[in-house]
Amino acid sequence: MSEVVPGYPDRILPKNEKAAAELKKRTLTNLYNARPQWLSDAHRDLDAAVAAAYGWPADISEDDALARLLELNLSRAATEPAGELALGEGGDGEDD
């Protein structure tokens, strides 16, 4: 088995069949359907950080944010030669 971090497995390995059955229930779909408070809090904080990064009001609606993102995307696409991606100054996709 390859290891991402030496000494640790690439994924959680269940210790028995009961643990395997429980682990199988742990999916992103189930997590988002349950929507625990910590997940809602994390999304709220992330939304506020993204709004701040763009200089938008913290209470911007989802519709307004999506409209602004589309406008920004279209504006950037219009300034790029067809078929080319906007890359950082180094040209490697990393922001310099």
DSSP-derived secondary structure for 14-59: -SSHHHHHHHHT--HHHHHHH--HHHHHHHHHHHHHHHHHHT--TT
pTM, to two decimals: 0.59
- Are residues 30 and 38 in contact, defined by beta-carbon separation less than 8 angstroms? no
Query: Stretch 29-33: mean pLDDT, rounded?
Result: 95
pLDDT single digits (tens) 48-89: 999 999 999 989 999 999 999 999 999 998 888 776 666 655
Mean of pLDDT over the chain: 85
* 42 inside domain: yes
* 88 inside domain: no
* 70 inside domain: yes
* 36 inside domain: yes
Report the alpha-carbon angle 39-94-3, nearest 5: 60
Q: Give me the pLDDT at residue 8, please.
A: 78
- Based on the structure, what is the number of domains in the chain? 1
* 5 inside domain: no
Q: Give me the pLDDT at residue 7, please.
A: 80
Q: Give me the pLDDT at residue 96, please.
A: 46
* 90 inside domain: no
Task: Give the domain extent around 74.
Answer: 17-79
Q: What is the DSSP letter of 7?
A: T
